[in-house]
Structure 1
């Protein structure tokens, strides 16, 4: 039995009806603003500690806006939420360990191997297989070769990639409980406790510097509370296969943000990769049931 749905406010209603593609771009922008802040903090705080505070900050923000988040959970749902929170927390930690050694855009692209694997496992038609092929080709082009001299960074990003796949599969089940972002917030709270041995030992300088503490928590608000919170609404509306394929927009968005904010102008090869990913997202087949459900959701009756 599912927990009782949380009443929706205006923001929740908008997130429940907006186009998934637009939500993905908004989520990506929030996540990469948070990632940019995190990279700046790496000079003063260990990456795993920044990630740990990111988890704490996100959990606090999400639970603060979730009414009655502690009520109505079944034992099975709590186990799922805990697994989701741990996978997401470890994904954050390994991703930050990776981007401390690998360029952010490159890391995001390589990490996308996980979502591609999920999409491949859930593809059910020739058209979706073609869309997936375009997305894989685009990610391969954006990813390039290199990293032969950065084995540690590569291992970290591949672990984060596997955890990203777990985030999609388990997170989709948590989202179907339909408790707004309460499941995400509770999961991250549990994850912050379970990963404390990884992040807490180097946290001393943060606790005595209010500005550092505020920045670390702000990273969590942008990257997890906003970014992952949007994902939870999107996961309720579309199949895992489509969600996994739409995640191809993340490396594309990362490249565009790098160009606009950091003057990291993409090469012709980069633009080719972006184009291939966008073709894959456009070609994908939307199931008939999605169109029916969308009609029901937008019908004022």
Structure 2
């Protein structure tokens, strides 16, 4: 559910890049989501100590970096490709924390699927190098987001997403510009921005926090490979981005990998896994 929400939100956000810059879209979605969840979940009741404050602050930084650099990437790179490159982060986490040989088979299958999703040599020249680099930076933040999100969830439970979004908003606000205030005077644009904020941050962060608190880290990392799959599907229907036959095979490989890791005997024994 989180993956569906995120990818639809990303496609809608990209459709707004003719009006908003990627930086402004990031500021909007994080700030609006922070307000909704902060008051909706009464996050002001949380009491901080030094250790848990640093944890949620670091969690907020990973949320900010993951979102900002992903949006900067999809400005010039197709959503499906950006998501495939960004998936490197969760896959690295999955490899780092895997404790069973069979898991490496599923991880390898996911890697093959990601490779098939990427453009081949005849298309690479058409890809924006800067956009791909932004996707790689987003991959780093996605990987650290998994680790910090799990720790923040232990400290704050369902209060972690709104607190993380508050810090994430503070981090990305300097990346926006003064034009944003003028643009928000258009009520239609404002409502559309609120919809994107809900789909891209508020709803999926709550769902992911539940997942991170109840799934082993490596299982979450591999199951996150479903995001490029959904991104490709949503990109086709909303943005008209089409996949080649090889990329469709890549989608199938990633789906198979996700199912395999979810049904792994290790998963069934690791419900209480902790870092």
The two structures share one fold, judged by TM-score above 0.5:
yes
For residues 179 and 99 of structure 2, the distance between their equivalents in structure 1, rounded to whole angstroms, comes to 46
Instruction: Determine the C-alpha separation between the residues in 2 that align with 1:121 and 1:240.
Output: 9
Is 1:242 the counterpart of 2:219? The answer is yes
Q: Counterpart of 1:281? A: 258
Residue of structure 2 equivalent to 1:27:
2
Q: 1:203 aligns with which of 171, 180, 191?
A: 180
1:103-160 deviation line (CA, Å, top 9, x unaligned): 1111111111111111111111110011100011001111233444512111111111
Paired with 1:221 and 1:57, the residues of 2 have a C-alpha distance of 8
Contact 1:52 1:200 in 2 (8 A): no
C-alpha distance 147-84 of structure 1, shift in aligned 2 (>3 A):
farther
Q: State how far apart, in whole Å, the 2-side matches of 1:91 and 1:45 are.
A: 18
User: Do the aligned partners of residues 262 and 201 (structure 1) sit closer, same or farther apart at CA in structure 2, a change above 3 Å counting?
Assistant: closer
Q: 1:147 to 1:158 in 2, by over 3 A?
A: farther
Residue deviations 1:30-55, cap 9 Å, x none?
11221122112111111101111110
Structure 1 length as normaliser, TM-score?
0.82
Give, in angstroms, the shift of residue 178 of structure 1.
Answer: 4.8
Gaps of 5+ in 2: none
| Paired residues of 2:78 and 2:241 also in contact (CA < 8 A) | no
Residue number in structure 2 paired with 1:104: 79
Please list every run of 5 or more consecutive structure 1 residues that lacks an aligned counterpart in the other structure: 1-25, 294-301
Output aligned runs, 1:1-301, within 5 Å. 26-145=1-120, 146-148=123-125, 150-180=128-158, 182-262=159-239, 264-284=241-261, 285=264, 286-290=266-270
With the length of structure 2 as denominator, give the TM-score of the two structures.
0.90
Say what the alpha-carbon RMSD is for the aligned residues. Answer: 1.9
CA shift for structure 1 position 73: 3.2
Q: Contact between 2:26 and 2:68, CA under 8 Å: does it hold in 1? A: yes
Helix, strand or coil at the partner of 1:242: helix
Measure, in 2, the Cα distance between the counterparts of 1:221 and 1:260: 20
- Contact kept, 8 Å, 2:79 with 2:232, in 1: the verdict is no
Distance 1:200 1:121 in 2: 39
1-side partners of 2:43 and 2:30: how far apart? Answer: 21
Q: Is the 8 A contact 1:42 1:100 kept in 2?
A: yes
Q: Deviations over 1:80-115 (max 9, x none)?
A: 111111221122111111101111111111111111
For the residues of structure 2 that align with 1:68 and 1:48, how far apart are their CA atoms? 26
